[in-house]
Amino acid sequence: MDLRKKQSAVVDALEDVKGYDIVVFNTASMPTMFERVVIATGTSNTQVKALADRVRERIEQAGGRVYGVEGAKGGEWVLVDLGDVVVHIMHPAVRSFYNLEEVWGAKAVKLKAEKPAEKKKKKAAPKKKPAKRGAPARRSARR
């Protein structure tokens, strides 16, 4: 499976299950056994596991091979080994503690550009006509 297709499938799978803070690092120039590191965050153990499962399913559907999944039992940090791509999915606290961005952050890969939010043009509110002067306001007489 082509590296770019695999990377795209991983990012799409993570976005499907509402993973956030998704970052892809190019580690090809570093002395590693893989070319990309993907780091994503999930809000709960269940979501972290679901993110890992979706990545595994999406890669297998695309004809790729999953070499291993580690940490799925605990669910705080799950690693999915796809050979030339390694995916780390973790809780926010675990992610900030281990700070993998500092370790692998040699060169971030640009993901597909997000569409800018369409700005709706607000129509100006129609101006109110000033009250006529000279005519007294009518009041109902209740007695």
Which pLDDT does position 42 carry in this prediction?
Answer: 94
Residues in the chain: 143
111 assigned to some structural domain: no
117 assigned to some structural domain: no
Range of the domain at 21: 3-104
The series of mean pLDDT values per 10 residues for the chain, 143 residues long, is: 90 94 86 87 94 95 93 91 94 91 69 49 52 55 53
Adjacent-strand bridge partners of 68: 81
Q: What's the whole-model pTM score? A: 0.73
Which pLDDT does position 105 carry in this prediction?
Answer: 67
How many domains are contained in the chain? Answer: 1
Which pLDDT does position 120 carry in this prediction?
Answer: 44
37 assigned to some structural domain: yes
CATH of the domain at 78: 3.30.460.10
